Structure 1
């Protein structure tokens, strides 16, 4: 029941391509003093955060283990919530940087980059699953043709949200793509909302608006909650948006603060102190809390307040990794192996792990199932990255870089 990687390594890929033409990084256009519109750190805070890539690797590993051995990590699906927050953070800071640098946001360019980064690999997965359904008798891929159509249109979460009882076979072969639907629907709407408030309000009001938007899904979940609405709440973009917006809030807050602002020092200090407790609490949930099961009162709490609490913990981690690269947690997560996997393979791992789980189950594999899942998933993710994702990512980077607005071209 779990996503990831934006698209969760997926959004960060735009950091390498947003200001790049033909693979060559360009320096940001000179910015006039007024051009920052109250976001003095927006352009400077666009560098890749290696520790966030490592966090992606950790999150996708939890998802894989959860789907293979749910008794070991009954709450492993919480890693998807972490992915949401990372994605909201990365996407928002890219949009803010573009707005400050160029005086606007090219929505068509943004959507094009997202399509090239996410859709080709997803279509390849859908094609393979549909082919297995039509040419084999593997029960794990029954109904894959319909599921593939819903996944390719990013509608899996919509169908699952409308099912009040057990999930039907309509989406089951590609059930994990529900989170891709949530993220893509958020990516479709959030740039429009952000651009609207950026053009009409001061930076402080933009921050307050983002914070207010974070609270709305919680109120909406409280209105909707009853046991029969569990699928609706779990899969709905409107009911999960606070987890993406929590990351967006961190991006807006940090873009507003100069490097010498004492408030930034305060955030750096407290996010560092709270990072390990936040990670420990998320790990405890993954280890002990079956978040997708009916546990009575606990389920009601989780499906209302719990999602926002996880978003707050995830946002604390994101802020700490951004502001404290020298800290032990950041250095561990930024080690080359986890950072490289998170940056390049986490999306492919997320895409392929669930079909691999169903393939091995259909073949009756029991002994060494987790190891077999990991090996086969990594192979498919590597193939996806080098044969599909990387070539299309190169196309996303190549293109005409829009000239900066005249007001931004002169200091």
Structure 2
């Protein structure tokens, strides 16, 4: 799905702009919400396809592939940050080695969730890795739960159970909501699980519907209709809603808003899959954003925060910081891809037996 890679590029650029000049996009952190739903969709699609072809989910193989895809690049970024903190007198990197240790352990989100007031300085240099912690904690639990559901429940029951799981975090956030609980809700793996599960539910629905199923045609029609309004609403959220600041939007966003962002993203993802000729799909499938999203988006997210802090400490501030930060982030991400990510992925590809494609074009798992 080339358009999905293009959507990744849009999301990561949105997050970078938000971190450099939040006044431009006060709700730019919605890019992380988009990433969560994409991740739930992609991971579940891979797992369901494997189950359809083999009747099982190779958990050890899944965890190994996830580790190789995510952790070496993360550990490199943490190591560089730790070296900067102990080697140079950089104000924004003081004590960053502690943040590097927490980030390497994928627990930054848990530390931040425990902060009732302002965020702890322990995580500040690498605070953006909170979202990686949420995703990696989801990756640990979801394959096990999905395997149990696929083995012991009928197709409709699987969809029903996952739909219920999508609602439970909303109810839990409503119970927890209080201004002092904002950090707990924003960073908790349990309170953000619905965004990943909405993507998972979409993947299961698409796997359930064969190419000749009339319900697939209905879904395709509605996905095409809803894609553009969904993109507009996500853009308005980024432009107008100060998600991480104290505002009148907080009670709504921190209860039902996360789910709303996930549903909007799911509408876009469904259209990218089912409507290849629509203009949003063609626009997001342009070669440059697709290549960046497929190969550099993870590295860009990893490196943009320490790169921006380093440039700031070196005196690059004000308006020049955004273009300089984007350029330096792209360079760091490209180096990470060429030197770390691509070699490991190529080596792993030779170790994994390639599976034959499903003739119908859709997984018959459900």
Change (3 A) 1:133 1:197: same
Q: Corresponding residue for 1:130?
A: 82
Summarize deviations over 1:95-124 as a string: whole Å, max 9, x none.
001001001000000000000000000000
For 2:45 and 2:234, locate their aligned partners in 1 and report how far apart those are by CA, in whole Å.
Answer: 24
Q: Does 1:321 align with 2:272?
A: yes
Residue of 162, 175, 183 corresponding to 1:223: 175
**Map of 1:83-94 to 2, 5 A cutoff?**
83-94=35-46
After TM superposition, where is structure 1 displaced by more than 6 Å over at least 4 residues in a row?
none
- Between the aligned partners of 2:314 and 2:107, the Cα distance in structure 1 is 29
TM-score (norm 2): 0.95
Q: Does 1:359 align with 2:320?
A: no
- Pairing 1:305–2:256 present: yes
The 5-angstrom pairing of residues 190-339 of structure 1 reads: 190-296=142-248, 298-339=249-290
Give the drift of 1:364: 2.2
Q: Write the distance in 2 (CA, Å) between the matches of 1:301 and 1:371.
A: 34
Q: How far apart are residue 398 of structure 1 and its match?
A: 2.3
Offset at residue 402 of structure 1 (A): 9.4
Structure 1 length-normalised TM: 0.85
CA distance in 2, matches of 1:285, 1:51: 21
Q: Which residue of 2 aligns with 1:408?
A: none
State the aligned residue count. 355
CA contact (8 A) 1:63 1:76 kept: yes
User: 1:169 and 1:268 mapped to 2: Cα distance?
Assistant: 47
Q: Secondary structure at the match of 2:129?
A: helix
Q: Gaps (5+ residues) in structure 1?
A: 1-48, 405-411
Structure-2 change in CA distance of 1:223 and 1:330 (3 Å): same
For the residues of structure 2 that align with 1:174 and 1:61, how far apart are their CA atoms? 18
CA deviation map 1:175-204 (0-9, x unaligned): 000000000000000000000010001111
Which of the two has greater helix per residue?
Answer: 2
Structure 2 residue matching 1:70: 3-state secondary structure: coil
> How far, CA to CA, are the matches of 1:259 and 1:152 in structure 2?
43
Offset at residue 400 of structure 1 (A): 5.0
1:64 and 2:27 equivalent?
no
- Give, in whole Å, the separation in 2 of the partners of 1:358 and 1:288: 25
Measured in 2, the distance between the counterparts of 1:283 and 1:100 equals 37
Determine which of 285, 294, 301 is the counterpart of 1:343.
294
CA shift in 2, pair 1:212/1:276, >3 Å: same
Alpha carbons 1:117, 1:396 under 8 Å: kept: no
- Cα displacement (A) at 1:376: 0.5
Shift of 1:401: 3.2
In 2, the alpha carbon distance for the partners of 1:136 and 1:204 equals 58
- Residue by residue over 1:193-229, the C-alpha shift from the partner in whole angstroms, topping out at 9 and shown as x without a partner, is 0000100011111111111100010011011111111
1:171 has 2:119 as partner: no
* Number of the residue aligned with 1:146: 98
Contact in 2 for aligned 1:112/1:396 (Cα 8 Å) = no
CA displacement, residues 331-387 of structure 1 (integer Å, 9 cap, x when unaligned): 111110000000000000000101111111112212411110011001000000000
> What is aligned with 1:379?
331
SS at match of 1:341: helix
1:46-92 per-residue CA deviation (whole Å, 9 max, x = no partner) reads xxx00000000000010010001011111100010000000000000
